[in-house]
Each structure stands twice: as C-alpha cells, then as structure tokens.
Amino acid sequence: MLPDIYRETLARYWGYTTFRPLQEDIIASVISGRDTIALMPTGGGKSITYQLPAVARDGLCLVVTPLIALMKDQIYRLKEINIRAMAIHSGMTREEVEIAVDNCIYGDYKLLYVSPERLYTPLFKARLPRFNISMVAIDEAHCISQWGYDFRPSYLNIADIRDLIGGEIPFLALTATATPQVVKDINSRLLMKNAGILKTSFRRPNITYLVREVEDKAAYVQKTIGRSKGCGIIYVRSRKRAKEVAETLVANDISSDFYHAGLPPDIRDKKQRAWTQGEIQVIVATNAFGMGIDKADVRFVIHWDTPDSIEAYYQESGRAGRDEKPASAVLLWSQDEKRKMSESVKIKFPPLDRIKDVYEAIGNFFQLPVGTGKNSVFDFDMWKFASAFRFQVTETYNSLLFLQKGGYLEFTDEINNPTRVHFIVSRDDLYKFQVANEDYDKFIKLLLRTYSGMFTDFVPVNEESLSNRSGMTRESIYQYLLGLSRLNIIRFIPGKKSPLVIFTEERLDRKQLNMSPDIYLRVKNNYIERVEKMIGYAENTNRCRAEYLASYFGEEGERCGICDICLERNELDMSKYEFDLILAKVKELVSTESLRVEELTDKLEFPEENSIRVIRWLLDHVKMETDEEGRLRWVKKES
C-alpha cells in the first residue's frame, strides 16, 4: 500500500482516484529503491509510473526516450497540469541545452526528458553529477536489446550514468513489447541488481482479433465501417496511401481524414483533435499516428498493410478498446501482401558496400573531415542528399537505419521545431529599451502578454497565433524578432522542420568501418524471423489469435473464444473446454503412433460424434494427415 501522498498527488494533478492495474506495484517498487522492469501494454498508463513519484518526492526524475515527438507531447501535457518538465534532445542548440540544464539544477523542475545520444555529450556528462536525481526512467527499454525490433546502440551506454549519479538511484525500465529474451537483455545491459519484473498480461480479452483475406480492401473496409457505430484507425504503410484511402472513404460518405509525419504540426494537431473529439469517425494513418493518443473508445483498428513485426502489430492494434469495452483488430491479408513482405528484406538491407557508400557520402555532404565530428548535429535533407549522390531514397533511408544500428550515427525522422525566443536582458533593462524604442514597445508587450518564462528559458513562439492576435503579418513578426535579436535584446531561433543526423562517433575513414558480414547477417536474420512470425500470424488457421500473440511474448494460456479461429471452432457445436480436451488427447495419441479413425475414436473415450468433428477439423486444417494405409498421423506442431 502506497503512502497517502501518492493517491493525493494522483487526484490533484491527474484527476484519478484509483490506479490502473500494476501502476501502484511499479511505483511501490521504485520508491523502495529497487531497480524495476515494467511491461505494460500500450495505453496502460506507463508514464504515470515515473511522473507521479517524481512529483510526490524531492528531486528530479531523469527520463531517457528516443521519441522526440513523444517527449514534446508529454512535456506539453505536464505543463497543462502545472508540472514543471524540461527536454534535451538533438534538435536544440548548445545555448538552449545549457539553459535547460541550469534550470533543472537550480529550478524546481520535476522531470527532465533526454534523448539517449545527448546523455554522452561532454556538456551533459559534466553537469549530470549536480542534478538531484531521484530516479531514472528508461522508456522504450526494448531499444537496448540487439534482439529487439528497434535496437539503438545509444541505449547500450545508459548504465554508465550510474557512476555519475550515484549507484543507489533506482532505474525503471518500461516497455509495452518485450519477448523473454529482450527482458533478459534489459536486465543485463542496465546492470540491474535484484530487479523486480512486473508485467500485466499481454492478453486483451475485450479485443476480437480477425484476419480477413481479401483482394478488394477498399470494398471490405467500406462495408465493415458502414456497420460500425464507433470510431477507428486504419493503418497504412505509406503517406500516399493514407491520403488515397481517406479520400475513398469520404467519397463513400464515411467521415474520414488522413494523418502522417509529413504534415505540418499544426495540421496534424488539428486532424488528431478532430478525430479525438469525435468530429470525424475514421483516421487513416501511417505508424506516426499513435504517440500521445488519449482516446479510450476506439472501437476498431484495421491494418490495411501488414506491419513487419508482431511487436508493431500488437502495439498498434492495442489502441483499440482501451475502455475495456468490446473492440476489434482486423488485419487485411492477401498473397500479394505476403509477396511484398518477403521482398521487403531486399529493400530493408542494402548491400554492405552501399551502406559504406552512404556513410562516406554523408561525411562529404557535411564537409566533415575524417577523425572529427563526434556529437555534431546536422539538418538533413534526404532528397537533396540522395539527388546529389544519385542514391535511391529508400536505399538511403535503410542504409541510415543500419548505420544507426551499428552505432556510427543517429538519424531522426522529421523534427518540427517551432520558433524559440529567450530574453537575454533583465526586466529593468528591457523596460528602458521599450521607453527608448517606441516602435518595438507594442510588439514586446504582445510577446510578454502571450508567453511566460521568456526571461529564464527559450519559449516556443507561434508566429501565426501572434499574427492573428495583433493583426500584423507573419513577415512583420519575423522582422521584429530579427530586429530584437540584432539589438541583443533576445536570442531568436527560427522555426524549422527537418530530419537530423547526429554523429555519435568521430567520422571514420571508409576502410575503418567495421561492417562485419556476421553482424549484418545476424541483424538481417532477426528481421526475417520477425517477418516470418508476422506472416505466420496472418496465415495461421488453427491457433487462437490472442493466444498466438501472447505466446510470442512468453505468455501461455487458454484461447480467447472470440477471434476468427475460435469462432470457427465454436461452430462445431461443442464447448471450448471439450474441444480442447479432445484435441489434446488426439495429439497425444497420434504423435506417437499412426492410427485408423476407428482405433483413434475407441481410444479417445469421448462421444464418437464429437471426436469425429474434431478429427475432421484437424484434417481440414492440416494438423493431421492420412498415410498410404489410411492411418492418421500428426504432421505439424502448434506454432
């Protein structure tokens, strides 16, 4: 039982009177000083397990996360409920980082979010011992495992900060998707001692998992959504398809919109808000849609395209039914889809020489001499880069991902950094400036009325919002900001939208690139194995889908009774319990010897009619076969 302060804090800041499953156990483990690994499903409330103890106790919680968009979203939400939080990531200037660090050392901040590659910069490491750190939370902890689906070498050194902050500070590792092997890796690589491993079940009993083999996906989706009363998500693989599918739905009178990472942030926010508030029924999106979604009543998630791993599918489909009411997760499948997934291996893994070409070209692109550049951050226009060196964009992108897995650099998808402003004069000096410069006085008052905190930190500024409030054009606002910057009244960082490349090590000569064929092959085989597991899920015709997913994450149990596989079994007009008993006995008998039908039914000791139904079902699903003499034998283990 947690002390009362934790429930009071939960109610005061988050408005909840009770904890979700496992939240209380995780918090209790961490505040006792114990290293903890927590496995919670997407939407299970992971963030509260470190945000709440950070607020309820003295000190600062250091949060390591690779997702800059999620980092920004969480800080925005925390500020809305008056919790002071800060972020340090690769999209910030050195001056911004210094101010952020000083504010966390001297100010009353409760959470500091840091991208993993920033942990090891000289500036951050030098200041880290001065933080009053109460705990360290590692989000997306599966990234630390080379067996995980999203391995990032920058995670491997997180444990090194233990010596800088004091060895007794508890670590909390959080993930929604981790196999037993990945959990073992997390425990080992974070140097956890007697770690508590806490997890909720991977089963979502309110979700009906379905696979539909259809050639005309548009017709199926229109028909399915037409029968649904609730809202939902359709996941697609490309930005182009997101728009095309949404337009098709709209043309058929289905309230819909599309979403992807290439849209301006204000447009993305507008679309997400419209869907969240129920103004549109369906959002068609790439996997960029999902972070920070706080919508419990999603009734369906449809995958138009198949993800390349069980982890991704489980996380995305798990956005359905967070209110624990009935929901469905539908995967649209076809043999053409299988062909595309098999061919994706060639696309995902460019030849080693091409990966080296890309690395060498990036160094030349940024005019970075060999032996320099560690911790350097560059805006990266991939189209311009690929055109300059005559590379294919897809091949370039996947080469960058492999270089990231190799630990040579970090590559972020598009970061939307708004314009930021910080006053570098005192309030008294600013007042004197306003008196002496009437032209700027009105604009400065507009800034100070609209935004707070500009004297202590860089504050994001929305030029369009300022334009609407003042009646000035955006160009005028830009010129005022530029003028104040030149007069040394403010520091002004113009907004930009760009991916980033971060050199985590000094630039190497091509010959020094240790692109081991063995490592390349291992990573490739890991990917192939994950793709095959996903294909196996789609083509599975005999095992409960919920059981298949749970088993992948190391959890066993009974079948769900509501997926398409279970419903087909249920049509045999017998109970789930009786069916499973007969199936288990049949498997036991024919796995050791081949038997004729009459011999098998005699040995089963169940009603003959039901035994025959199960035997026929097993033959139809190629679990058993008959040999040349007409005897039954088991041909395939359940996978």
Are residues 459 and 321 part of one domain? no
Distance from C-alpha of 85 to C-alpha of 485, rounded to nearest angstrom: 27
d(CA 42, CA 183): 17
Please report the pLDDT score of residue 422 as a whole number: 94
pLDDT of residue 473: 92
Looking up residue 376, the CATH number of its domain turns out to be 1.10.10.10
> How much is the pLDDT for 639?
43
How far is the C-alpha of 143 from the C-alpha of 150, rounded, in Å? 5
- Token pair recorded at residue 128: 């880290």
Helix spans in 366-416 (H): 382-389, 393-405
- Look at residue 536 and tell me if it is in a domain: no
Per-residue H/E/C for 483-532? HHHHCCCEEEECCEEEEEEECCCCCCCHHHCCCCHHHHHHHHHHHHHHHH
Q: What is the mean pLDDT of residues 1-18?
A: 92
Q: Give the number of other Cβ atoms within 10 Å of residue 468's Cβ.
A: 11
The residues facing 379 across adjacent strands are: 500
The total of structural domains in the chain comes to 5
Using the predicted structure, report yes or no on whether residue 503 has a pLDDT greater than 50.
Answer: yes
What would the pLDDT profile of 278-335 be if each residue is shown by its tens digit?
A: 999 999 999 878 766 778 899 999 999 999 999 999 989 999 998 889 999 999 999 9
Closest Cα to residue 41, out of 254, 250, 207?
207
Average pLDDT, integer, range 42-49: 84
Residue partners of 252: CB distance under 8 A and separation at least 6: 222
124 & 28 share domain? yes
- Beta strand ranges found along 19-105 (DSSP E): 36-39, 60-64, 85-88
Whose tokens are 């050195």? That residue is 94
User: Which pLDDT belongs to residue 414?
Assistant: 61
Q: Are residues 373 and 273 in the same domain?
A: no
Domain boundary among 333, 355, 381: 333
pLDDT attached to residue 368: 94
Q: For residues 389 and 512, state if they share a domain.
A: yes
Q: What is the mean pLDDT of the segment spanning 499-514?
A: 88
| Residues 424, 488 contacting (CB under 8 angstroms) | yes
Asked if residue 441 belongs to a domain, the reply is yes
- pLDDT score, position 292: 62
Question: Which pTM was predicted?
Answer: 0.79
Last residue of a domain, one of 303, 333, 363: 333
pLDDT(440) > 80: yes
Per the DSSP assignment, residues forming a β-bridge with 374 are: none
Given phi > 0 = left and psi -120 to 50 = alpha, else beta, which region is 225?
Answer: alpha
| Higher pLDDT, residue 216 or 266 | 216
Residue 475 falls inside a structural domain: yes
What percent of the chain lies above the pLDDT cut of 90? Answer: 50
Query: 369: which residues sit within 8 A by CB, 6+ positions away?
Result: 507
pLDDT digits (tens, 9 = 90+) for 378-432: 989 888 999 999 999 889 999 998 888 888 888 886 667 789 999 999 999 999 9
Span 64-84, average pLDDT: 87
pLDDT, mean of residues 52-71: 90
Facing residues of 267 across strands? none
Q: Are 85 and 62 in contact (CB under 8 A)?
A: no
Structure confidence at residue 636 as a pLDDT band (50, 70, 90): low
383 and 487 together in one domain = no
pLDDT score for 291? 65
Q: For 251-383, where are the E strands, in sequence order?
A: 256-259, 282-285, 298-303, 327-333, 377-379
- The span from the CA of 243 to the CA of 267, in Å, is 14
Q: Is the pLDDT of residue 532 over 90?
A: yes
Whether the per-residue pLDDT at 480 is higher than 60: the answer is yes
> What pLDDT digit, counting tens, does each position of 126-170 carry?
889 999 999 999 999 999 987 777 788 889 889 999 988 887 899
What number is the average pLDDT over the span 109-113? Answer: 95
Nearest Cα neighbor of 184 from 140, 151, 145 is 145
pLDDT of residue 178: 86
The yes-or-no verdict on residue 573 having pLDDT over 80 is no
Q: What is the largest CA-CA distance in the chain?
A: 105
Q: Is the pLDDT of residue 372 over 50?
A: yes
Task: State both tokens at 561.
Answer: 């009774």
> Domain for residue 549, yes or no?
no
Same domain, 305 and 364: no
Q: Is 136 a member of any domain?
A: yes
Question: How many Å apart are CA 191 and CA 135, to the nearest integer?
Answer: 15
| Assigned domain for 539 exists | no
Q: Which of 67-76, 185-194, 238-247 is the least confident region?
A: 67-76
Domain-embedded: residue 329: yes
Residues spanned by the domain of 518: 342-417+499-529
Query: In 3D, which of 116, 106, 5, 118 has the Cα closest to residue 54?
Result: 5
Alpha helices in 111-238 (DSSP H): 122-127, 162-165, 180-189, 217-227
Strand duo 419-423 + 459-461: pairing: antiparallel
For 332, counting Cβ atoms within 10 Å of its Cβ (0-12 exposed, 13-18 middle, 19+ buried), the class is buried
Domain end (from 289, 314, 333): 333
What would the mean pLDDT of 192-212 be, rounded to a whole number?
Answer: 91
pLDDT at 637: 53
